[in-house]
Amino acid sequence: MTALTGVILAGGQGRRMGGQDKGLVLFNGIPLYQHVLQRLRPQVDIVMISANRNLDRYQLSGCTVIPDTLPDYPGPLAGMLSALLAAETEWIAFCSCDTPFVPVDYVDQLWRQREKAPAVWARSAERDHPALALLHRSLAEPLADYLQRGERRLMQFLREQGGHAVQVSQNEAPFRNVNTPEDLGENAE
């Protein structure tokens, strides 16, 4: 496997979390993004965090923090674009900050099953998880064009670029998201 950059997507507005910075919400006493960091760090060579608020708090992790290059929180694709532009590796693995149980081998599985695709994303038995993706940095320019046109649909972009889903797990548990205050209690280990 080649050198990989991992990026935790933590740049959203946290609307369903009452406007809180979701990555910093405590889950089992630890900020959500740190759960993801613990699982992602062993899978990649470098970890960066895509964030638009509380940059100083994310920098305490020792990771490079990159804000969106586009204004007004245009969604996860904006964080992906910033990462594709900032990364020095050819391949970048993404994970949203609200998946504290992300599989500890999902990056390897994406890498091994990517075939020649410039983009792949995780799939469980029930659905696709496009924020758990592996993208080649050559997608930066097409992604910038896509966002410039006002498009925001992640799956549509990945498919348009010749990407495909990779079956990572039959089990849904590793993909549970923590999106609301109620999820904090429901998803606790």
Pairing of strands 128-136, 91-96: antiparallel
- Considering Cα of 29, then 106, then 86, then 52, what sign does the dihedral take? negative
Residue keyed to tokens 């020792």: 62
User: Is 68 annotated to bind ligand?
Assistant: yes
Q: What's the rounded Cα separation, in Å, for the pair 103 and 84?
A: 23
Q: In what side-by-side order are the strands of the sheet with 46-51?
A: 64-66, 46-51, 4-10, 91-96, 128-136, 119-123, 164-167
User: Is 22 annotated to bind ligand?
Assistant: yes
Are 88 and 64 in contact by the 8 Å Cβ rule? The answer is no
User: Is 6 annotated to bind ligand?
Assistant: no
Are 67 and 11 in contact by the 8 Å Cβ rule? The answer is yes
User: Is 98 annotated to bind ligand?
Assistant: yes
Binding residues: 9-11, 22, 68, 98
Binding residues for GTP: 9-11, 22, 68, 98
Binding residues for Mg(2+): 98
